[in-house]
Amino acid sequence: MADLYELIEKRATCRAYKPDPIPDDVLNRVLEAGCKSPSCGGFQSISIIKITDPDKRKRLVDFSRGQKFVATAPVSLVFCVDYHRMRRVMTREPAPFRQQDQFKYLMMGIIDASICAQTMVLAAEAEGLGSCYNGNILNVMDQISDLMELPEQIFPVVMLTLGWPRTDRRRQPPKYPASLLVHENTYQERPDEVLYAAYRKQNRWQKLPAKPQWVESCCTVAERLHGADYAAQVRKDIKEKGYIGPYQYWFGCYYLDSPDFMTNKDYQLYFIKQGFEWLEEKEKLVL
């Protein structure tokens, strides 16, 4: 038991990998561990695409904001919600099937994929492997689906990159304590000063320099989303602190939309194309 808690305590995201391959027996243990994870109804409505082809790994770099470690690591796993397999089984054993037209089954599938991925993270850590979650693939879900040749009623949820860490000096960044995240019976509001103090403590290592281009980017995005007065507040806060805070950087400078990224309408059209019928606006959209 102590070993498990120690593993959780020491686990840290890895973004620097050796190019060494993962032996089949090691990788298979990790994969089998994930496939034993809990699932909604026990149906295991997921599939995992193991990407080992070098050319496809390079394409994944393009889909991941240019993060080159995705190509260096020997394998990436793309976790997908998969109701296609269930439908195939029902061609032999007919049964009522509503997974494609019920939003709750979309959510259940995402939960299944997430549980499976996190089980593999812990198994990989126990094997001495490093791992890194990647949600950037959701920005180009349609292109990822084409790359992996996903049939109808399957869609990607998250990618996990695995490999041997280049260094042993990885450190888990500070995390919010359970006393902040856990609420008993009902949601308990904390005072603003308590929330902000916890935020600053968790992100104490993130004090980014107030580079002019970052300040302007953050303020431009703030004005577009919330108006000129709010953007002025952002600018004043950065000037008074003397640095850019993590929320200001990540939401105002880094996680910016690209022309290649899918829009809300693109997602609607994508899910209709993949055979999901729970969208109320389906009849209003033109494929």
| pLDDT of amino acid 169 | 74
Please give the mean pLDDT across all residues of the chain.
91
| pLDDT of amino acid 89 | 87
Domain segments of the chain as ranges: 2-163, 178-254
20 C-beta neighbours (distance < 10 Å), count: 11
| pLDDT of amino acid 203 | 86
Lookup result for tokens 């980014």: 208
Contact indicator for 256, 225 with CB cutoff of 8 Å: no
Task: Check pLDDT > 70 for residue 36.
Answer: yes
Instruction: Measure the CA–CA gap between 63 and 73, rounded to whole angstroms.
Output: 15
pLDDT tens, position by position, 195-209: 999 998 988 878 899
> pTM for the complete prediction?
0.89
Tokens of 280: 């109320």
Cα-flanking dihedrals φ and ψ of residue 200, to 5°? -70, -35
Task: Check pLDDT > 60 for residue 25.
Answer: yes
What's the residue count for the chain? Answer: 287
| pLDDT of amino acid 182 | 92
pLDDT tens, position by position, 129-166: 999 999 999 999 999 999 999 999 999 999 999 999 99
Q: What is the mean pLDDT of residues 85-112?
A: 87
Lookup result for tokens 């976790």: 79
How do strand 75-82 and strand 154-163 relate by DSSP bridges? antiparallel
| pLDDT of amino acid 259 | 87
Tokens of 276: 């999901």
Where b means 16+ CB within 10 Å and e means fewer, 89-113 reads: eeeeeeeeeebbeeeebbebbbbbb
> Closest by alpha carbon to 59, among 126, 148, 181, 174?
148
| pLDDT of amino acid 138 | 92
Paired with 133 in beta bridges are 160
pLDDT tens, position by position, 227-269: 999 999 999 999 999 999 999 999 999 999 888 899 999 999 9
The pLDDT > 90 percentage for the chain reads: 73
Instruction: Measure the CA–CA gap between 273 and 287, rounded to whole angstroms.
Output: 8
pLDDT tens, position by position, 167-193: 887 788 889 999 999 999 999 999 999
Beta strands in the chain (DSSP E): 46-51, 75-82, 130-134, 154-163, 208-209, 243-244
Give the strands of the sheet with 130-134, arranged side by side.
Answer: 46-51, 75-82, 154-163, 130-134
Contact indicator for 236, 229 with CB cutoff of 8 Å: no
Looking at per-residue pLDDT, the higher value among 11 and 100 belongs to 11
Instruction: Measure the CA–CA gap between 168 and 14, rounded to whole angstroms.
Output: 10
Q: What is the mean pLDDT of residues 69-85?
A: 94
pLDDT tens, position by position, 101-119: 888 888 999 999 999 999 9
Task: Check pLDDT > 70 for residue 287.
Answer: no
Instruction: Measure the CA–CA gap between 216 and 156, rounded to whole angstroms.
Output: 34
| pLDDT of amino acid 283 | 56
Instruction: Measure the CA–CA gap between 80 and 10, rounded to whole angstroms.
Output: 28
Instruction: Measure the CA–CA gap between 204 and 198, rounded to whole angstroms.
Output: 10
CATH 2.60.40.1180 fits 2-163, yes or no: no
